[in-house]
Amino acid sequence: MKNQLLLNLKKGMAWLSSLIFIFLLVCCAPDELELIPSYDQMVDEFEEVSDLPELNDPDPDIDDPNYEPLNTPVLLSNLLKEIVAFSDDDSPISEFSKSKLRDLNSKLKEKGLKSGTLSEIDMDFLTYLMNPDNSIDPELDVLLTELFELPDLKASLPEILQYGELTTPEAISDYISSSKIGTGKEGLRQLDSDLYAICAEKANRAFQHRLEALTEQLVEQEDQINDNYLRRAYDAEERLIERNVLVHELLKEQLVEYQVIINKILNAARKAVLAGDLDLQEDLLAYGLIYATNIRLQMAGWFLSSISYNHVFYELEINSITILREDRIAAVKQYYLEGVEMAEEILARAIRVYCHNQGSGS
């Protein structure tokens, strides 16, 4: 009986203690909560993290090639001057120049020029020969090529630009695409308080919301930079095609200019016939053949040099826009990481200031 009484007494005391604890909790909690800043104020602090700056990705300036004109061959200029004067004004060709013409004709024959070839030379023949786009008789091609390899026949060729090896910029390391981004929970004491848990959850939710906005802006700006790069690369390729077409047009224009000289050489040969000097006529026709070949070789060199020139511009342009893309993506990522770092600091401060004392009573 006595034991039963003691057991009932203990149960009553436990029940009374619970009532007293609940009473104290209800009476004291409102006063403590009034001292804790509101959740809305905590969430608003994440608005201090600015959006990424507006993307600044202007197109770079484009430099166009400046093609070198093909000049009149230096070695033949004095001789050519006398031939033109004879064609235009009947000014006699000097004996020295005649001997030079005879020497050139002899070299052609020594190389195996077929008899009768010179008699076939006319404006159409030489105009066709001058153009490096046109194929010629293989035997004649070999003969003329070997002729211009003679050390004492140094017909001046156009200066072909020597670009050397393109300097390839050092590989630019890709900016770390997946940087370690903390959640703001590292190192925080895990408290059992429900109030702390609710506060920390709201803080982390606000942090994640701001992080998602920054990440969306990052992806959008990276996509825009990559789209700009692809457009610029396409435009650069289009410019390369257009420049190569332009080089071909310039080639044809220069050939037209040299047709005037060819016509004067042939006219001089016709005048030599009228003067009864058939040897001079043959030598002038031989000179016309050599001169047209000289132009053919020069124009081929000029054309290939100019095409190479275009490719250098293209490669440098691609290199330039690639560096721009990498630099601008790196800049955008830097802004992003700075924003994330600031958001993490706000999260840590929010946990410390707003959530630390909630539910701990101290």
Are 83 and 271 spatial neighbours (Cβ–Cβ below 8 Å)? no
Are 239 and 62 spatial neighbours (Cβ–Cβ below 8 Å)? yes
Residue 42 CB partners (closer than 8 Å, separation 6+): 199, 202, 203, 206, 350, 354
List, for residues 69-114, the tens digit of each pLDDT value.
655 444 446 788 889 899 999 899 999 889 989 998 998 898 888 8
Residue 149 tokens read as 């390899």
Are 287 and 265 spatial neighbours (Cβ–Cβ below 8 Å)? yes
C-alpha span between 321 and 89 (Å, rounded): 58
Q: What's the pTM?
A: 0.65
Per-residue pLDDT of the chain (362 residues; tens, 9 = 90+): 545 544 454 555 555 455 444 444 444 444 444 444 555 666 667 677 777 788 888 888 877 777 666 554 444 467 888 898 999 998 999 998 899 899 989 988 988 888 788 989 999 999 999 999 999 999 999 999 888 887 666 543 333 333 333 223 233 223 223 333 333 333 333 434 556 677 777 778 888 888 888 889 889 999 999 999 999 999 999 999 999 999 898 888 888 888 988 999 999 999 999 999 999 999 999 999 988 888 888 888 888 888 888 888 888 889 989 999 999 999 999 988 888 888 888 788 877 776 765 544 44
48: Cα within 13 Å, side-chain hemisphere: 16
**Nearest by Cα to 144 from 123, 116, 117:** 117
Residue 346 tokens read as 């706000």
Q: What is the 3-state secondary structure (H, E, C) of the chain?
A: CHHHHHHHHHHHHHHHHHHHHHHHHHHHHHHHHHHCCCHHHHHHHHHHCCCCCCCCCCCCCCCCCCCCCCCCCCCCHHHHHHHHHHHHHCCCCCHHHHHHHHHHHHHHHHCCCCCCCHHHCCHHHHHHHHCCCCCCCHHHHHHHHHHCCCCCCCCCCCCCCCCCCCCCCCCCCCCCCCCCCCCCCCCCCCCCCHHHHHHHHHHHHHHHHHHHHHHHHHHHHHHHHHHHHHHHHHHHHHHHHHHHHHHHHHHHHHHHHHHHHHHHHHHHHHHHHHCCCHHHHHHHHHHHHHHHHHHHHHHHHHHHHHHHHHHHHHHHHHHHHHHHHHHHHHHHHHHHHHHHHHHHHHHHHHHHHHHCCCCCCC
C-alpha span between 88 and 265 (Å, rounded): 10
Are 52 and 225 spatial neighbours (Cβ–Cβ below 8 Å)? no
Query: What b-and-e string marks burial along 287-315, b requiring 16 or more CB atoms within 10 Å of the CB?
Result: bbbbbbbbbbbbbbbbbebbeebbeebbe
Are 294 and 73 spatial neighbours (Cβ–Cβ below 8 Å)? yes
Helix axes of 278-350 and 194-274: crossing angle, nearest 10 degrees: 170
C-alpha span between 100 and 82 (Å, rounded): 12
Count of C-beta atoms within a 10 Å radius of residue 327: 13
